């Protein structure tokens, strides 16, 4: 059974995982790390995409962990075939933290991969390698499922909408847009940001949960397709109308006051909600500069990052937009703000740009 995009597991049922990697060492490490979790069963391994495709009908996996560079059939071709032939199977790319690996991962996410995990370059010991693998992979696998007795996000707090599905604007006109997103984010941002015109009159700040290098490449790709200028934020960047800034991996992005106007401050203070950058860090800082004059947007993503900051901004009069469950890859972050009654609008991804423009133009 599925609730929107999450499958409910039956009592005693485990998540079935097929590990696909050309390295026998990696296959063994991943299988060993996953099998220590009692909710997961590694049903098989494969050294390349062709072998994996031949085994899917027999093994019936729920999830593939998929290497990118493999002989015979690489990860990209395997992904395309899985999306055509087994569209319900979740695919998590497993890539190196290199420029080539990051670029290939972004290509895979655009082609339909559900999420990705980064391979550690050198953890120094078997125990640390296993711990890192468990930390990276297990939450990303489990996010697509509901376990027996686990309740989905509440829907009773959905706000009423008008004929076009758009709520009326709040009393506080926005002076900036703040977007928080995680799993499924690159595709969501690619669908949303190019629809903001070059004349868009507000600054846009984005926190996408990604490691260093990935965020720079994401910003470069978005800059190539967006009417607005897009850049990975740097320390001291001015927060200007018509400019989109992406938080760099491993740094919180905060907005602070300056003599010439608001600017970006980056820091490596402790992670929030196990995240750095964190949406909550951005939202909380913007509440100090703009109070409720922020338009917060929560898109697809795992966990609850953004909930605390959304609560602060909502109390100051902000009107929050949340992506709906059906169009989200994972309805963790938007589902959390909806369940808390903080969302003024809950709408599909393809209508969020319209909602932003209506809110900014009509405020």
Alpha-carbon span 286 to 264, nearest angstrom: 10
What b/e readout covers 196-217, taking b as 16+ CB neighbours within 10 angstroms?
A: beeebebbbbbbbbbeebbbbb
Alpha-carbon span 34 to 17, nearest angstrom: 9
Question: Which one is catalytic: 62, 67, 115, 209?
Answer: 209
Pairing state between β 252-256 and 263-267? antiparallel
Question: Which one is catalytic: 305, 319, 324, 328?
Answer: 305
190-194 contacts: CB < 8 A, separation 24 or more? 190/110, 190/221, 190/222, 190/225, 191/349, 191/350, 192/299, 192/349, 192/352, 192/353, 193/222, 193/226, 193/228, 193/230, 193/244, 194/222, 194/225, 194/226, 194/227
- 209 in catalytic set: yes
Question: Which one is catalytic: 95, 182, 285, 319?
Answer: 182
> What residues act catalytically?
182, 209, 305
């Amino acid at each position: 059974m599925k609730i929107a995009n999450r499958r409910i597991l039956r009592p005693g049922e485990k998540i079935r995982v097929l590990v696909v990697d050309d390295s026998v060492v990696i296959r063994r490490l991943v299988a060993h790390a996953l099998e220590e979790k009692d909710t997961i069963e590694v049903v098989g391994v494969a050294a390349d995409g062709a072998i994996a495709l031949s085994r899917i009908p027999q093994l019936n996996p729920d999830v593939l962990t998929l290497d990118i560079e493999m002989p015979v059939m690489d990860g990209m071709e395997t992904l395309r075939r899985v999306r055509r032939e087994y569209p319900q199977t979740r695919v998590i790319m497993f890539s190196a933290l290199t420029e080539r690996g990051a670029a290939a991962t972004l290509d895979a996410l655009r082609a339909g991969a559900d999420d990705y995990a980064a391979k550690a370059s050198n953890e120094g010991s078997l125990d640390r390698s296993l711990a890192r693998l468990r930390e990276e992979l297990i939450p990303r696998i489990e996010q697509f499922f509901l376990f027996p007795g686990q309740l989905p996000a509440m829907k009773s707090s959905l706000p009423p909408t008008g004929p076009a599905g758009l709520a009326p604007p709040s009393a506080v006109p926005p002076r900036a847009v703040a977007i928080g997103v995680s799993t499924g984010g690159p595709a969501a941002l690619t669908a949303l940001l190019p629809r903001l015109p070059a004349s868009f009159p507000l600054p846009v700040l984005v926190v996408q949960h990604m490691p260093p290098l990935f965020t720079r490449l994401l910003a470069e790709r978005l800059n190539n397709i967006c009417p607005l200028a897009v850049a990975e934020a740097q320390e001291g960047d001015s927060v200007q109308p018509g400019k989109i800034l992406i938080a760099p991996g491993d740094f919180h992005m905060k907005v602070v006051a300056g003599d010439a106007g608001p600017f970006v401050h980056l820091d490596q203070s402790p992670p929030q909600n196990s995240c750095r950058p964190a949406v909550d860090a951005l939202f909380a800082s913007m509440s100090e500069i703009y109070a409720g004059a922020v338009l917060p947007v929560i898109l697809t993503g795992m966990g609850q990052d953004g909930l605390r900051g959304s609560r602060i901004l909502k109390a100051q009069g902000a009107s929050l937009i949340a992506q709906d469950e059906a169009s989200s890859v994972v309805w963790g972050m938007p589902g959390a703000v909806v369940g808390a009654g903080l969302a003024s609008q809950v709408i599909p991804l393809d209508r969020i740009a319209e909602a932003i423009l209506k809110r900014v133009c009509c405020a």
